[in-house]
Structure 1
């Protein structure tokens, strides 16, 4: 398939999957529950953090997280008491447990009280062609306060070779200007042109079959390769193709 046909094919798949129907089966529905900016971005961050494994379980446990915070994530992050934190101890999603949840609430409080909020931290270190250094710097800032070592593994570091799938997905939700009602696009200080595709098993396999990716591992080097190909197809909104790659892989078994 030549570049022109490939672009037409993928653009068609983006239109097919970048619709409100997508929200029903995706964790992006969690930040859509809220209307305040800070609630949206915190709900999105926490649900993206546990977005691995069975999608129904991800959504169920993301709702549980919101319930444990009284469905007021920003207020909970800023104003929680020690007793409030203890309620979180029972939470578990795969290897993310109650101690990790408590650590994340403290990390988020640090971000909002001392660094101007999530958008400000991610925007601060953005480069001219990528958000990967910014993700790495965000992780350092998030864990500046006292924390358990085990909790660090729940935020990937692209500077250590990770594809950082969940954080890249989160940035798509927050930054991409989507007129279809899926991505929320509430962060205006980061251009969608800098975003990277959330690379996972499904999108990686489809990308290889379409000739967009040659590297066999789904790591940081593969992400850089895929980024460069997707930016050729649409330099302004390269991650819209996540809908095509994911849809082809999950819904069509391409």
Structure 2
């Protein structure tokens, strides 16, 4: 990687990895909470709903929080069947009430026997795995392990098995795993290493990365995300996805 690109990415990482990034990004949703499980639940949901305008995504997530009485973990684990009727009108793009109710059911089932959502990913990962591919493959199977899961909901949970770049789940994992002192990412998970993360390939990141020569692969899929991440590891092998801030920020700047 040439020195100009390296310097640009470092500068933009420091520019955008700041608390003032939070309010206008879906990461503001889990930042409303201090309880670990609330952060996990709403972090996951905010990442899965993260397509379209950021303002709309944030509004929809806030609507979900209200539907769960402002306490997602408590609602998930203690709700009655009659409480679920309020979700029948919830919709964001192609994510509808069927998907919402399955998410609630899965979370309830999972948290009855697990303290943290981290184990839904980390149980499939070995310490010497170079990236989180096995974790994503295993999580997808685990998420759809309940009887009579809705087939339609599968399209909302990406997996490398379908060659998806898995941008939303990769973003969620960045939020949970990355640790620094800037207060944007949470860094509340310990069993997955930042070096194992894969860079989220959204439209901004993909466009900028191609212009900077960080992606050569013609289409955007799982192998593209791995290619980008490997190139970023030449700058920082222990924390390559920190440059997601730089690539995304450069893309948004260009758009504005």
TM-score range, shorter chain: over 0.9
- 1:92 aligned counterpart, secondary structure: coil
Q: Which residue of 2 aligns with 1:229?
A: 231
Relative to the length of structure 1, the TM-score reads: 0.96
Give yes or no for the alignment of 1:79 onto 2:78: yes
Following superposition, the deviation at residue 41 of structure 1 comes to 0.6
Looking at structure 2, the residues matched to 138 and 80 of structure 1 have their Cα atoms a distance apart, in angstroms, of 25
Looking at structure 1, the residues matched to 183 and 95 of structure 2 have their Cα atoms a distance apart, in angstroms, of 29
Task: Map Cα deviations across residues 188-211 of structure 1 (whole Å, 9 max, x no partner).
Answer: 111111111110111011001001
Q: Which residue of 1 aligns with 2:133?
A: 132
**Which one of 239, 243, 246 corresponds to residue 245 of structure 2?**
243
Following superposition, the deviation at residue 115 of structure 1 comes to 4.7
Q: Which residue of 1 aligns with 2:154?
A: 152
Task: Map Cα deviations across residues 159-194 of structure 1 (whole Å, 9 max, x no partner).
Answer: 220000000000000000031111111111111111
Superposition map of 1:79-98 within 5 A: 79-98=78-97
**Which one of 165, 172, 178 corresponds to residue 170 of structure 1?**
172
Structure 1 pair 126/4, CA: closer, same or farther in 2 (3 Å)? farther
Q: Which residue of 1 aligns with 2:206?
A: 204
Give the RMSD, CA atoms, in angstroms: 1.4
Looking at structure 1, the residues matched to 50 and 189 of structure 2 have their Cα atoms a distance apart, in angstroms, of 21
Give yes or no for the alignment of 1:8 onto 2:7: yes
Q: Which residue of 2 aligns with 1:29?
A: 28
Relative to the length of structure 2, the TM-score reads: 0.95
Q: Tell me, which stretches of 5 or more residues in structure 2 are unaligned?
A: none
Q: Which residue of 1 aligns with 2:18?
A: 19
Task: Map Cα deviations across residues 203-254 of structure 1 (whole Å, 9 max, x no partner).
Answer: 0110010010011222111111111101111011100100000000112349
Q: Which residue of 2 aligns with 1:52?
A: 51
Looking at structure 1, the residues matched to 253 and 85 of structure 2 have their Cα atoms a distance apart, in angstroms, of 40
- 1:215 aligned counterpart, secondary structure: coil
Asked if the contact 1:18/1:180 (under 8 Å) is kept, the reply is yes
Asked if the contact 1:48/1:169 (under 8 Å) is kept, the reply is yes
Q: Which residue of 2 aligns with 1:180?
A: 182
Looking at structure 2, the residues matched to 253 and 105 of structure 1 have their Cα atoms a distance apart, in angstroms, of 36
Larger helix share, 1 or 2: 1
Corresponding residue pairs, total: 253
Following superposition, the deviation at residue 126 of structure 1 comes to 2.0
Q: Which moved more, 1:127-136 or 1:114-123?
A: 114-123
Asked if the contact 1:213/1:225 (under 8 Å) is kept, the reply is yes
Structure 1 pair 34/116, CA: closer, same or farther in 2 (3 Å)? closer
Asked if the contact 1:201/1:218 (under 8 Å) is kept, the reply is no
Asked if the contact 1:108/1:142 (under 8 Å) is kept, the reply is no
Task: Map Cα deviations across residues 111-168 of structure 1 (whole Å, 9 max, x no partner).
Answer: 2124553111111112421112201211111111131111111100112200000000
Task: Map Cα deviations across residues 2-46 of structure 1 (whole Å, 9 max, x no partner).
Answer: 533322211011001111111111000000000011111111011
Asked if the contact 1:135/1:158 (under 8 Å) is kept, the reply is yes
Q: Tell me, which stretches of 5 or more residues in structure 1 are unaligned?
A: none
